[in-house]
Structure 1
Amino acid sequence: MFNTRVSVQQVEESAELAPKFDSEGLMPCVTTHADTGEVLMLGYMNQQALKMTIETKEAHYWSRSRQQLWRKGSSSGLVQKVIEMRIDDQDAVWLRVQVLGQGASCHVGYCSCFYREINLPSGQLIFREKEKVFDPAVVYGDAPNPTQL
């Protein structure tokens, strides 16, 4: 499915998909809501996640905390249906998605993973999403929290 990178022209100007993954085998993926444009999350894809996303039209990521392929919504029901998928110079991906289920993408229960603003210059965090869309304890039960300290 992926072509070998052979030239700048191929990577920047051709119709050939020749993705570049970093030294960990990953590529960043920005995911936004297809209707509102709101940034929902930043995830990472390995070759398998990119391939599965293309084939299924559902967002797949590589979970760095769990060290495994992850179909978004497999445990929560918050599936991300891909409406559009873009790539830059083939080292980062942008997904525009519709979120099934309760319409949220954050495991903490908010719509977006970017639910807080950093106040400048104080550095204080300000909650921009005032209410959670769902209760993570109900949705995930006793599954381990993927956030690592």
Structure 2
Amino acid sequence: MMGAPELALAQKVLAAQPFSNLLDARLVAFGEGEATLEVDIRDDLRQQNGFLHGGVLAYAADNTLTFAAGTVVGARLLTAGFTIDYLRPADGALLRAHAQVVRAGRSRVVCRCDLWVVDNSGVETLCAVAQGTIAIPESSQGS
């Protein structure tokens, strides 16, 4: 993984996102084509059946995919699109999203993300997987 200065800079980028602050999201790893984001599972993030809302999972996938891409091509990125498959209801104490770059091109970066819930005893359960394409805006290419 990259050193502490790169992680600290990426954490500042995350802190500049009001929605990420609303969720109390934390970037805990950033470097070498990978990123990990965590969100504590709180009651106000659950849906009517008591499980973590799918929108929170989608947020975590989207942001983590983009941060992973940023480790190899820089910070000026936009999500072009992503798909997410919900494998099982998410219930636990913590959501952990881990993304890695599959392929980095000149204008697009393809990444995949695994989303895990962690219970109070530390047991992780895979609850969703996502794949995304991250665009490098033309104004950022070659700079």
- The interval holding the TM-score normalised by the smaller chain is under 0.3
Q: Which has the higher strand share?
A: 2
Structure with more contact order per residue of length (Cα contacts < 8 Å, sep ≥ 6): 2
Q: Which has the higher helix share?
A: 2
Larger-gyration structure (1/2) = 1
- TM-score using structure 2 length: 0.27
- TM-score using structure 1 length: 0.26
